[in-house]
Chain A
C-alpha cells in the first residue's frame, strides 16, 4: 500500500497551483530521476506548487526559491526534513534537524573532522580501498556495482573517521541500507534503532577508553558549557552514518550508469584525465540525489502565495543544477562546462553539507582509479536498473559488464 493518502487542498491553495506529485512514488523514466522530476514540475508554469500527497506540501522549483528556502532560517525550520504522514520515531539528526543558534556548536565538532586537511588523509585511504576493490573484480569482466563498490567505499571511510573495527562492516552496511530503504517506516525505524544501539555501545566504549577518532572527540566535547547528552549524541552518530553512506553510494550509482551508457564521455576522461575535477562537478550538478524539505516556521509569501506556519515545503536540490536560467542546456553533460560546481547539490545555508569535501574526494578518486583500470564498460544486456527514492534517490542495483581483455 502506498503510504501517502490524498487530502484535498486547503482553502489558501489556489486550484491552479495543485499538482499530482507523490515524491515516493512517481513514474521515473528509465534512470532519469532528476530529469523526470524536473519535467513534472515544469508541466505547471507557476513558481510555487502544492501537492496533496504525503500529508500535502508546497514545492519550490527554481534555483532562487530553493536557495531562499534553504537559507532563510527565520521562516523555514529543519525540525522536520521529510514530507510524510508517518511518525518518525528516532532522535533528531544532529545538527541537521537543529535550527540556529543551537545548530552551530554541534556542527563545529564535525567540521574539524571533515575539513579539507583532514580529508586529505582520508583520501589516501579511499584511494587504496578503491584500487583494492576494483583490482578484486576487474578480471571477472562484470560486477554488481552498488554492492561490490559503491556501498563499500563510503562505509569503510566512515568507519575510519569514527574508528570502528573493519569486521563490523558487513553488519553496518546492511543495517544502514535497511534504515534508509526498508519497505515500511516500521522496518526503517527498527533498523535505525539497531544503528543507535550500535552507536551507543561504541560511545560507552570510547567514554571508558578514548582514542583519536571522531566519536571520542564528540564524547569529550562540551556544548554550551556541558558535555553532550546521550540523546543528541546518538542523533549525531546516526546522522554521520546515514549522511555519509547512502549519499555517496547513490551518487556513485548515477555516475557509473551515466558513464556506462555514454562511451564518448568515458573516452574523453580516459584521454584527458585533467578534465576529471571539472567532470566531477558537472556530474554532481547533473545528478543531485537529495530532496530536502522544511517546515514553514512563520508565514511566508512567495509569488503571491502564502505558505502558512506548520506547513511543509519541498526544496528539491535537482531544481537548482537543472535550472536552465542558471545552467544553459542543463540536461546535457558537458565536462568543459564553466563553473558547474556552483550548485545546490550539497544544499545551502547553514546546513550545507559538512561532508562535501570528503564526498567530492571519494567521487573523484572513483573516476580516476576506475577509468584507469576499466576504461570500457556497459550495463549488462537485459538488466534493467531501477531508481528507488526516499529523501535520497538511489539506483538499487547496477550490473556492469566489460571485456576482461580490455582491463589495464
Chain B
C-alpha cells in the first residue's frame, strides 16, 4: 500500500481553535479510543478536544500541512 500524499485524506491535520491542539489523522487519538488512520469524518461528533474540551466543530483543517 502506498502512503497517501500530504493533505490527502489519511494525512490531514485539524487544529483546535481555542488551544491549538492538533488532531492528526495518521495518529488518531488512541487515548479516546480513536485508532491511527481514522479520517476526520469518522471521528465521532461528540468527541472533544483532549486538552481543552472544545467541540469537534471547533477544529479547522490545517491547510498548510
Contact = CB atoms under 8 A, between A and B. Distances in A.
B1 to A, nearest CB: 32
Interface string B9-44: 000000111111000000000000000000000000
B51 A357 contact: no
Interface string B46-57: 001011111000
A360 B50 contact: no
A281 interface: yes
Nearest to B58: A352
A357 B22 CA distance: 13
Nearest to A281: B51
A357 B18 contact: yes
Given A357-B20, A360-B20, A116 B15 contact: yes
Interface string A113-143: 0011101000000000000000000000000
A341 B49 CA distance: 10
A116 B53 contact: no
A111 interface: yes
B51 A342 contact: yes
Contacts, number: 36
Given A116-B20, A357-B20, A360-B20, A339 B15 contact: no
A115 B54 contact: no
B51 A111 contact: no
Interface string A270-311: 000000000001000000000000000000000000000000
A356 B18 contact: yes
A345 to B, nearest CB: 10
A352 B57 CA distance: 13
Give the secondary structure class of B's interface.
Answer: loop
A346 interface: yes
Most buried by B among A111, A281, A356, A360: A356
B60 A360 contact: no
B50 A357 contact: no
A268 to B, nearest CB: 20
Contact of B51 (A117, A119, A339, A346): A339
B19 A356 contact: yes
Contact of A341 (B15, B51, B60): B51
Interface residues of A, number: 16
A116 B22 CA distance: 11
B17 A342 contact: no
Contacts of A119: 20
Contacts of A352: 18, 54
A181 B38 CA distance: 50
Residue among A116, A346, A352 having the largest count of chain B Cβ atoms under 10 Å: A116
A152 B18 CA distance: 23
Interface string A321-356: 000000000000000000101110010000011001
B52 A342 contact: yes
B19 A357 contact: yes
Nearest to A344: B53
A226 to B, nearest CB: 27
A339 B53 CA distance: 9
Contacts of A281: 51-52
B60 A346 contact: no
A112 B54 CA distance: 17
A341 B17 contact: no
A117 B20 CA distance: 9
A346 B51 CA distance: 13
B52 A115 contact: no
A355 to B, nearest CB: 10
13 contacts: A115-B60, A116-B17, A116-B20, A117-B62, A281-B52, A339-B50, A339-B51, A342-B51, A342-B53, A356-B52, A357-B17, A357-B19, A360-B20
Interface of B: 15-20, 48, 50-54, 60, 62, 64
The 9 closest A-B pairs by CB, nearest first: A342-B53, A341-B52, A116-B20, A341-B51, A356-B18, A116-B15, A357-B20, A342-B52, A360-B19
Interface of A: 111, 115-117, 119, 281, 339, 341-343, 346, 352-353, 356-357, 360
Given A116-B17, A360-B20, 11 more contacts: A111-B17, A116-B15, A339-B51, A341-B52, A342-B48, A342-B53, A346-B18, A353-B18, A356-B18, A356-B19, A360-B19
